[in-house]
Structure 1
């Protein structure tokens, strides 16, 4: 539909409305409905013009989801670019520090002290015996309706499921851990948005793979004794969620994100 706007169009609408209201000589008085028609036409013209101005050449009811997907993709590209720039700057700082350490004994001492804490801080890649856990959504129900009392929300992995496994592995003595091949620390936050995992500013889709280095027997005992993991295993049996557990020699990468803390509290 083409909307009419502009001063000339408004003048025509007003002239027609006024002409319809004025009596004409030599003719019988017009009925009431003929007086209302020009007023309705004027109101319709005002409505169409206002709509056209508001729309600005776009559809008012247009689906905004493609724009949201594009915005998410743009932000993801921006985060990846910032991460590459941060990695380059860290490498430059380390290089300059190494040059200064050759001629400055205090800097050399602090550098050696920092290197001695890198493994404990998770800044080095590690390999050793451990366990791999994989969590996955349930298969789609297909054409069959869901059983009574079951919703699609029951068929996906949630934040609590991932957190229960992670907490059980830490409690079982895990020395190092990664989620989706991203090194996580005790301060790493696990967040889920829908059925996707948000970790260190990146979004991951299921299946979610969790790798932990440690005594496999101790890790398995901790998983079996965890209340949260037992609840999840009940859901595995009831809704056919995916759960795989594999013991082998595993590798976890070094932590590459920022180690700065916004706030901290000394335990008492």
Structure 2
């Protein structure tokens, strides 16, 4: 029990009386966020602890580009080593075949037949009048042209294929891309803005050399829809394109000639 006196006691009693007569407000429920915040903080602490334990003092998002570059260089070195070994083995096979041909009539006959087809098959270097076509990415100015994307500023697989197909259609006798002989079984593929040809990676600019009548080759390029599209992109996005008439040399094909499947023409 509490005893009061004086004016202050009467005021306190009056407030209690009024408070007792007024309806009491319902007890407010705790808002949802007041319960969620501790749970979120607990989960964040658990996540930070797990991350620190997993990292073990190292960076989880370490830049892997140097490792990727090193891996690519290692693969290039392996390809070069395998190519040298394959060339040495081919030379040994040819040498032994020639020795056998001196004493074996059927082997000599087949060797002469194969030698007669070496030029047509692309296994000998050729020199003659022709055309040099060069495709290049747009210069990196740091600012994209209006309405352009990064894909619009690089040479794509379809662009290289359009030039190659147009040159074949124009009667090219022999062709090379980046000084690598191109045959009918050659596949042109792009990985990003790099060109993959017979296991070798090439960066732009891409030089395509073809032996043939320069005037006819240029007409075939002008008639190609794919080449015209690339030339339009040259005007709009500053891509690189050039044609040069010259006496050119196309190297011999030096890669594997193994076929996975073939049919004999009727």
- State whether TM-score is above 0.5: yes
> What's the secondary structure of 1:135's corresponding residue?
strand
How has the CA–CA distance of structure 1 residues 160 and 267 changed in structure 2, closer, same or farther, with 3 Å as cutoff?
farther
> What's the secondary structure of 2:218's corresponding residue?
helix
| Matched pairs, number | 224
Contact 2:145-2:237 within 8 A present in 1 as well = no
Q: Which runs of 5+ in 2 are unaligned?
A: 1-41
Please state how far the C-alpha of 1:181 moved relative to its aligned partner.
0.5
Where do 1:79-228 residues align within 5 Å?
79-142=79-142, 145-228=143-226
Supply the distance in 1 between the matched residues of 2:178 and 2:117 (Cα, whole angstroms): 25
Supply the distance in 1 between the matched residues of 2:225 and 2:51 (Cα, whole angstroms): 58
> What's the secondary structure of 2:256's corresponding residue?
coil
Contact 2:177-2:206 within 8 A present in 1 as well = yes
Q: Which of 242, 245, 258 is matched with 1:244 structurally?
A: 242
Decide which structure has the larger Cα Rg and report it.
2
> What's the secondary structure of 1:189's corresponding residue?
coil
> What's the secondary structure of 1:109's corresponding residue?
helix
Please state how far the C-alpha of 1:107 moved relative to its aligned partner.
0.9
TM-score normalised per structure 1: 0.78
RMSD of Structure 2 on Structure 1 (CA) = 2.1
Supply the distance in 2 between the matched residues of 1:47 and 1:240 (Cα, whole angstroms): 48
TM-score normalised per structure 2: 0.78
Q: Which runs of 5+ in 1 are unaligned?
A: 1-39
> What's the secondary structure of 1:79's corresponding residue?
helix
Please state how far the C-alpha of 1:72 moved relative to its aligned partner.
1.2
1:259 aligned residue:
257
Runs ≥4 residues deviating over 6 A: none
How has the CA–CA distance of structure 1 residues 47 and 207 changed in structure 2, closer, same or farther, with 3 Å as cutoff?
closer
Supply the distance in 2 between the matched residues of 1:267 and 1:155 (Cα, whole angstroms): 43
Supply the distance in 1 between the matched residues of 2:48 and 2:245 (Cα, whole angstroms): 69
Supply the distance in 1 between the matched residues of 2:166 and 2:173 (Cα, whole angstroms): 13
Please state how far the C-alpha of 1:152 moved relative to its aligned partner.
1.8
1:83-106, CA deviations, whole angstroms, 9 ceiling, x for partnerless residues? Answer: 111111111111111111111111
1:36 aligned residue:
none
Supply the distance in 1 between the matched residues of 2:53 and 2:99 (Cα, whole angstroms): 64
Supply the distance in 2 between the matched residues of 1:88 and 1:54 (Cα, whole angstroms): 50
